[in-house]
Amino acid sequence: MQPDWTLTVVPSTQDESGRDAPLSELDDRRLVEVCLGGRVEAFDVIVERHQRAVYRLCSRFVRRHEDAADLTQEVFLRAYRGLRRFRGDATLTTWLYRIGVNVCLNQVSGRKMEETPLEDAPHLAAASDDPASSLARTQEGARVRAAVARLPRKQRATLILRVYQDLSHREIALALGTTVGAVKANFFHALGNLKKILAEEAMRKS
């Protein structure tokens, strides 16, 4: 039987010994509580902790580094606005991915993507010392990226979350609001379509 009362947890940053713990030592759920209690610095720690993952997700949907940074900011702003809706059923990372996928798919379909590959941006660190192999990898990467961009929305999101963000099928299901079976089926078809698109592209060029 469910009680007809609710328990309100007053956010506190104190640890068991009663001393104030630094925000950076709190877990995500606690940071959310503290932030909802009015301390915006707690959200700074959330940003600090998750900005890399969110940026990497966004950078898979757009080519330009600036666009990826803009999308990352938009994801965190939406998360901040909707922080009360985070109930802790999933991890904060999964919740941010969910927002991220929605933001990216909506933004990317709403505007023309720039053709400059991320690797061409001068501020980005070079991944290899050998210029020839680096160029070959860059070209191959650009080809794959263009093919991924042509996938249907759900297949694209599933493939990005699985291959590049290394999320489990269950986490992807939570992030996309679907079932594990649907995620696996989407992943299967995404990979099949990716190979098909790349093969078609190779035939066209030859």
Q: Which residues contribute to the site for another protein (CB under 8 A)?
A: 40, 43-44, 47-48, 51-52, 55-56, 59, 65, 69, 72-73, 76-77, 80-81, 118-119, 121, 123-125, 127, 137, 140-142, 144-145, 148, 159, 163-164, 169, 180-181, 184-185, 187-189, 191-192, 194-195, 198
**Residue 93's closest CA among 129, 139, 57, 42?**
57
**Cα gap 68→111, rounded to integer Å:** 13
**Cα gap 18→53, rounded to integer Å:** 33
Question: How many other CB atoms are there within 10 angstroms of residue 67's CB atom?
Answer: 21
Count of all residues that appear for the chain in the document: 206
Name the residue nearer to another protein (CB basis): 30 or 184: 184
**Cα gap 64→121, rounded to integer Å:** 8
**Is residue 183 within 8 Å of 94, Cβ to Cβ?**
no
Name the residue nearer to another protein (CB basis): 105 or 163: 163
Smallest distance from the beta carbon of 88 to another protein, in angstroms?
21
Name the residue nearer to another protein (CB basis): 59 or 94: 59
The burial class, CB within 10 Å (0-12 / 13-18 / 19+), for 100 is buried
Smallest distance from the beta carbon of 78 to another protein, in angstroms?
10
Name the residue nearer to another protein (CB basis): 19 or 123: 123
Smallest distance from the beta carbon of 139 to another protein, in angstroms?
10
Smallest distance from the beta carbon of 167 to another protein, in angstroms?
13
